[in-house]
Amino acid sequence: MADTNTLKFGDHDYPVMSGSVGPQVVDIRKLYSETGMFTYDPGFTSTASCESALTYIDGDEGVLLHRGYPIGQLAEQSSFMEVSYLLLNGELPSKGELDEFTHTITRHTMLHEQLATFYRGFRRDAHPMAIMCGVVGALSAFYHDSTDINDPRQRMIASHRLIAKMPTIAAMAYKYSVGQPFLYPDNSLSYTGNFLRMTFGVPAEPYHVNPIVERALDRIFILHADHEQNASTSTVRLAGSSGANPFACIAAGIACLWGPAHGGANEAALNMLREIGTPDRIPEFIARAKDKNDPFRLMGFGHRVYKNYDPRATVMQKTVREVFDALKVNDPVFEVALQLEHMALNDPYFIEKKLFPNVDFYSGVILSAIGFPTTMFTALFALARTVGWVAQWNEMISDPAQKIGRPRQLYTGPTQRDYVEIGKR
């Protein structure tokens, strides 16, 4: 939507566009052709890469909306399947629409049988995210009937397949790491209950899904579903802009999410809390986080957008108490987390730099209490974020303004010079 007002640069006026809410943007698509100059924005701190109607974040107010619905309401009242439908289709489903969507996803949870042998190629101690990158990328070798990105029907089938198969792939990565047999999906269970059974069940006996754990994990999936143009979503969009198939694009997103500055922070945050061990050691770690000469950062703290608080962390902290009470867990790591949060939020350094707990600070505490090893935490983040990635990918493909992403640069290397043969160097 272009507004009447413009931004003047030299002899040229650039239109200022407004969305439905949030910062306006300056349309600089003609800047280079008219001025011969690029903009310069490493890390894209001031750059809108696209138009999107999926998720809105107000970092100062701690607001996160999915298609207009606040994350707190969705976490409390909705389900991951319903939020997945909402992100993909734009509106909350009727009961019939939700039942049909859930049935469709349920029917896609099985993997091609040959993919099970794919796991045999990995070491047993391979990181689950390495396996996720490999297996998800390999899906494009099995599902050729849903790789034509110009066919909306194939795009939706590929999207359903990815949402449905991620829990199976993640559970198989865990089973492979502990040397237990894979369990096939059980279509009589919920999306999240099925994942819990495939992960923690064994063929030798029935597995009973704990409804409190099922609800807590489903809520964690909701909190991780989508988050505007974060690094891994931008990776999926950039990969998709070349016309790459959806399975390859999601594999690229998984690779990006793995980084400790992004989705890998939940694993790093719990490892940090365990290393701190007891509340009396917290000041030592806070001092290290403030020391410019020490690369250590408080994992699970800070965010590019949230400069007040991450509304997902608020829901996550509440969920920790529910799970700990339900499972009668008294892991001291939660106490360390609460005291670290309190001390950091009262420290001038963190207040001045607006560093607050993010979604990754508490998620590991809950996942550990449920029984997941820390190496599985980011795989669960990828499982949940897949719906956001495929929704953003579909939105990008359908955007008439979409073209292949190809940023430019500020070149600071040598200007042209002639080759010197080795005898004269």
The residues carrying an active-site annotation are 303, 360
Identify which range of 12-20, 88-96, 171-179, 262-270 contacts ligand SDX by CB under 6 A.
262-270
- Tell me how far, at minimum, the Cβ of 166 lies from ligand SDX, in Å: 16
d(CA 219, CA 190): 13
Interface pick for ligand SDX out of 98, 262, 347, 375 (rule CB under 6 A)? 262
> Mask: binding to ligand SDX, 298-317, rule CB under 6 A, as x and -?
xxxxxxxx------------
d(CA 282, CA 280): 6
- Tell me how far, at minimum, the Cβ of 372 lies from ligand SDX, in Å: 18
Closest CB to ligand SDX among 247 and 301? 301
Interface pick for ligand SDX out of 172, 254, 336, 355 (rule CB under 6 A)? 355
Closest CB to ligand SDX among 116 and 231? 231
Closest CB to ligand SDX among 180 and 271? 271
d(CA 19, CA 27): 12
Identify which range of 277-285, 294-302, 321-329, 369-377 contacts ligand SDX by CB under 6 A.
294-302
Q: Does 261 bind ligand SDX (CB under 6 A)?
A: yes
Identify which range of 24-32, 202-210, 357-365, 395-403 contacts ligand SDX by CB under 6 A.
357-365
The 10 Å Cβ neighbour count of residue 43 is: 8
Q: Which amino acid would we find at residue 326?
A: A
Q: Does 353 bind ligand SDX (CB under 6 A)?
A: yes
Question: Cβ distance 285 to 276 under 8 Å?
Answer: yes
Going from the C-alpha of 104 to that of each of 49, 100, 170, 223, the distances in angstroms are 32, 6, 20, 23
Closest CB to ligand SDX among 258 and 301? 301
Which residue has the CB atom at the shortest distance from ligand SDX?
302
d(CA 289, CA 340): 12
Closest CB to ligand SDX among 119 and 301? 301
Cβ contacts of 144 within 8 Å, gap of 6 or more: none
Number of residues assigned to the chain: 425
Q: How many residues bind ligand SDX (CB under 6 A)?
A: 22
d(CA 25, CA 129): 36
- Tell me how far, at minimum, the Cβ of 268 lies from ligand SDX, in Å: 7
Q: Does 265 bind ligand SDX (CB under 6 A)?
A: yes
d(CA 146, CA 155): 6
Footprint (CB under 6 A) of ligand SDX, residues 273-292: 289
Closest CB to ligand SDX among 201 and 300? 300
Identify which range of 71-79, 87-95, 261-269, 321-329 contacts ligand SDX by CB under 6 A.
261-269
Which strands make up the sheet holding 25-26, listed edge to edge? 2-9, 12-17, 25-26
d(CA 288, CA 273): 14
Going from the C-alpha of 89 to that of each of 38, 49, 134, 139, the distances in angstroms are 36, 22, 29, 24
Footprint (CB under 6 A) of ligand SDX, residues 208-227: 227
d(CA 74, CA 58): 17
Footprint (CB under 6 A) of ligand SDX, residues 23-52: 43
Give the three-state DSSP class for 181: coil
- Tell me how far, at minimum, the Cβ of 43 lies from ligand SDX, in Å: 6
Q: Does 157 bind ligand SDX (CB under 6 A)?
A: no
Closest CB to ligand SDX among 35 and 375? 375
Interface pick for ligand SDX out of 230, 319, 363, 378 (rule CB under 6 A)? 230
Q: Does 297 bind ligand SDX (CB under 6 A)?
A: yes
Q: Can you say whether the dihedral through the CA atoms of 43, 47, 53, 58 is positive or negative?
A: positive
Where is 73: in which H helix or E strand? helix 71-77
> For residue 339, with 0-12 CB atoms within 10 Å meaning exposed, 13-18 middle and 19 or more buried, which class applies?
middle
d(CA 170, CA 156): 21
Q: Does 62 bind ligand SDX (CB under 6 A)?
A: no
Closest CB to ligand SDX among 38 and 44? 44
Q: Does 252 bind ligand SDX (CB under 6 A)?
A: no
Q: Catalog residues that contact ligand SDX under the rule CB under 6 A.
A: 43, 227, 230, 261-263, 265, 289, 297-305, 353, 355, 358-360
